[in-house]
Homo-oligomer: A and B are copies of this chain.
Amino acid sequence: MKKLSSSAIAHPNIALIKYWGNKNQALRIPVNGSISFNLDSLFTKTEVTFISELTSDILFINGHETTGLGLDRVVSFLNIVREQAGTQSFAKVNSENNFPVGTGIASSASAFAALSLAASNAIGLDLSEKELSCLARRGSGSASRSIPEGFVEWFPGVMDTDSYAVSIAPARHWGLVDLVAVVTHEHKKVGSTAGHELANTSPLQKARVDDTKRRLDIVREAIKYHDFQAMAEMVELDSNMMHAVMMTSRPVLMYWENTSISIMKNVQKWRASGIPVCYTMDAGPNVHVITTKDYSEDIYQKLACMNGIKQIFIAAVGGKARLVND
């Protein structure tokens, strides 16, 4: 029995300028560029083993065999890898997250980044970082941003081979911390893939997209010069703009819960008092509260005193997707 096995780790990322809406849904080519940083303490570890005797792909997530839509999405992705490698072999995929899925921490980003690296390596492809980012994008758009190191920008591109992410600064460049305030552990009702398809039903999406270059430029410069205040205002604006599109889509996507509002309002008060802190929310009710290492304990204590927060994850800026030995 021939076995080709590799394991990889990748981190989720938090977008400072958001990805919402595709110009090519099948290839997940986004309508606008985005900027994120990886979250070091959170990760997906994925082992991929191509086994010649298998008659189909099999998937285990956190130790449980997974079928249905979750498996279908992985099979579709592995078909792309097999096509690139010119082989037919099926795989056993064993994926583990150290954080809950489906609640606004982008588990699909780290999952498909780790899967891209492990699967391509196991099957014998030797992909560049750019090619890996393109590949990861096919599984989940934001997974393209979990391939490179630290602070990352995803260039939208126009085709499969030019829509990828690059590192714009290493993790050590700026000591930011993301405190993820978990408001609910419920699975979100509308996932990101379905959500992206609704973006154009909002009368506000075009205006959001048309204004993206300005926001990207400001956040890219703010990262370069460690300008927290400039970053904070733009990150919150960008988050509000994405949720503005969501809540004016048809059907309406309202990811905010009442506790989300309380956290956002408190973050604005804390920043007004002089603390470098800002919020951003992905397609879920959890609030990412971004601050610097110097203030992370203070902000943690402040969040811990609030009602309605179930759990707080803390992550500094993380590294790139990488192969690991089991």
Contact = CB atoms under 8 A, between A and B. Distances in A.
Interface string A233-269: 1001100110011011010101011111110110010
Contacts of A248: 237, 240-241, 244
Contact of A254 (B241, B245, B265): B265
Interface string A207-238: 11011000000000000000000000100110
Contact of A204 (B241, B254, B257): B241
Which applies to chain A's interface (DSSP): helix, strand, loop or mixed? helix
Nearest to A258: B258
Given A237-B248, A258-B262, A261-B257, A211 B203 contact: yes
A206 interface: yes
Nearest to A257: B261
A79 to B, nearest CB: 38
Copies per assembly: 2
A156 to B, nearest CB: 18
A204 B261 CA distance: 21
A260 B260 CA distance: 12
A94 to B, nearest CB: 38
Contacts of A268: 252, 254
Interface in A106-159: none
Contact of A256 (B208, B245, B252, B261): B261
Given A236-B252, A252-B236, A204 B244 contact: yes
A254 B264 contact: yes
A203 B252 contact: no
Contacts of A256: 261
Contacts of A252: 236-237, 240, 268
A258 B260 CA distance: 8
A235 to B, nearest CB: 12
Nearest to A307: B258
15 contacts: A204-B204, A204-B207, A204-B241, A207-B207, A237-B250, A240-B244, A240-B252, A244-B245, A244-B248, A252-B268, A254-B261, A258-B259, A258-B261, A260-B261, A261-B261
The 3 nearest A-B residue pairs measured at CB: A244-B244, A258-B258, A207-B207
Given A237-B250, A258-B258, 9 more contacts: A203-B208, A203-B241, A204-B204, A204-B241, A236-B252, A237-B248, A244-B247, A256-B261, A257-B261
